[in-house]
Amino acid sequence: MNQNQHNPRVCLIAYSCSPGLGSEEGVGWGWTVGLSKYINVTVITRKNNIGLIRKELEARKIAPINVVGCDLPIWLRFWKRGARGAMAYHYIWQLAASREAGALVRQGRIDIIHHLNFAVTWQPCWAAYHGNCLLGPLDGLGIIRPAFWPMLGWRNSLKEILRGNIIWCGEHLDPFVGSSLKKCLTIICRTHFVAERLLDRTGLSTDAVIPDTGLDQEDIDRLYRLSCRPGKGKRVQLIFLGRLIARKGVGLAIKSFARVASQFHNAELIVIGDGPERRALEELSDKLGLNSRVRFTGRIDRNQAWELLAEGDVFLYPSLRDAVATVVLEAMAAGLPVVCLEGTGPAQVVTPDIGLVARGNDEKEITDDLAVAISRLLEDKDLRQKMGRCAQETVAAQHSWEARAQAMMKVYASMERRLKEHG
């Protein structure tokens, strides 16, 4: 290695990396900034991210970060618009980005290549062929269990079947997937569920489990301040925040709320977000007689969403398939106990002292268990507040980008020791 073992030069391959956004863009940016406090970081990302990154680096006086733009030809970029061909596009983009990273290795400018964004078990880690490669946090939850498909509707069930076939073909038929995974010096997983599946499918063990999402300390502090404002309304508010798509389980949230609504006349459900399922969800609320008890905000900006989140009392997030979603961490930072489903990423961070995890083998069982969890929190204000305080303490201690970066630095240090031992 060319640097002190505690200060490697790392190249992050982050397809999505942009300040001020959520989802994958925010994840790429969070890792980049968090790690730049400790090490020399180069990030390879799409060219349209570079302007925003450089502007933010200058405005916030963040440590220098070398940014390398990488894009495919225009005709391929057009092809992926509207998500058509997105998986194939990303497959090829990672190949191009890994070649950029490989050139930096040969030039002696970096020590470790870290495939960060969209690290999945069914696509190759092309960077592994250039040596000294870390993959992850790896995603590989597979598909939603067939027993749950009736909750999705036939169109979304077909999409899930298609996704399952793509995953199966990638994991079993693409020779580069298994080959590249074996060449990775280190693999880290997003959740214990993914680590178990990786071992079961490939025989490869993970070197660490580190969630892929986190929050800036500034955001944690702001959400805490918002939660401390006086004057919450008389109504107890259940909050859902996210894109209104079938797998997020908003229908489950509405149905479980309907089970208990008559017992708690001062409770309401606020659905923050928009998406293709909105009309169907509004019709479901009306059918269940909840049109005055379920409020849909539509698409609003992040600041407005946080204002509503901090005014809430319980965060209801029955997603059927998810990693450790950023919105769950935001809810915890706002002091809300979380209700989620067993076997998902949120269930990894929602311990018994900060929320409740619902279980079930079909829609009825899940809805019943969600209703029990909701009732328990609605009828016990002291429990809600106790869990909310613990959630805030947990986010501050364990789920900031600072904490994520420190965990990753331990992984880098372990890689350096192994590389040094093997020459």
How many angstroms separate the CA atoms of 56 and 21, rounded?
12
Residue pLDDT tens, the chain, 423 long: 444 445 789 999 999 998 877 677 889 999 999 999 999 999 999 999 999 998 888 888 777 899 999 998 877 766 666 555 677 888 999 999 999 999 999 999 999 999 999 899 999 999 999 989 999 999 987 789 888 988 898 899 998 998 889 899 999 999 999 999 999 999 999 999 899 989 988 899 999 999 999 999 999 999 999 999 876 667 899 999 999 999 999 999 999 999 999 999 999 999 999 999 999 999 999 999 998 999 999 999 999 999 999 999 999 999 999 888 999 999 999 999 999 999 899 999 999 999 999 999 999 999 999 999 999 999 999 999 999 999 999 999 999 999 999 999 999 999 988 888 765
Pick the CATH number of 217-398 from 3.40.30.10, 3.30.1490.100, 3.30.470.20, 3.40.50.2000: 3.40.50.2000
Q: At what angle do helices 250-260 and 363-379 cross, to 10 degrees?
A: 60
So what's the pLDDT on residue 356?
A: 98
What does 246-270 look like in DSSP terms, one character per residue?
GGG-HHHHHHHHHHHTTT-TTEEEE
Q: Are 270 and 286 in contact (CB under 8 A)?
A: no
Q: How far apart are alpha carbons 244 and 31 in whole angstroms?
A: 27
Integer angstrom CA distances of residue 182 from 33, 114, 190 = 29, 15, 18
Give the pLDDT score at 1.
41
Cα torsion 347, 350, 353, 356: sign: negative
Domain residue ranges of the chain, discontinuous segments joined by +: 9-139+174-213+400-421, 217-398
Q: Phi and psi (nearest 5°) for 364?
A: -65, -45
In DSSP terms, 338 is beta-bridged to: 315, 355
Pairing mode of beta strands 314-316, 338-341: parallel
Distance CA 126, CA 104 (A): 15
Q: What pLDDT sits at residue 57?
A: 87
Distances (CA, A) of 414 to 105, 190, 321: 19, 18, 31
Check if 9-139+174-213+400-421 and 217-398 are the same fold: yes
CB atoms within 10 A of CB 328: 32
The single-letter DSSP state of residue 115 is: E
Cα 268 to Cα 107, 237, 256, 263, 313, distances in angstroms = 60, 5, 12, 12, 10
Q: Fold for domain 9-139+174-213+400-421?
A: Rossmann fold (3.40.50)
Element (H, E) at 92: helix 86-106
Residues linked to residue 70 through DSSP beta bridges, in sequence order? none
Residues paired with residue 9 on neighbouring β-strands, in sequence order: 40
CA distance 352 to 375: 16
pTM for this model (two decimals): 0.92
**Which phi and psi (to 5°) does residue 265 adopt?**
-70, -20
Q: Closest Cα partner for 275 from 246, 310, 251? A: 246
Nearest to 194, CA basis, from 148, 115, 247, 137: 137
Torsions phi, psi for 56 (to 5 deg): -70, -40
Beta bridge partners of 10: 41, 112
Owner of token pair 């079930």: 360
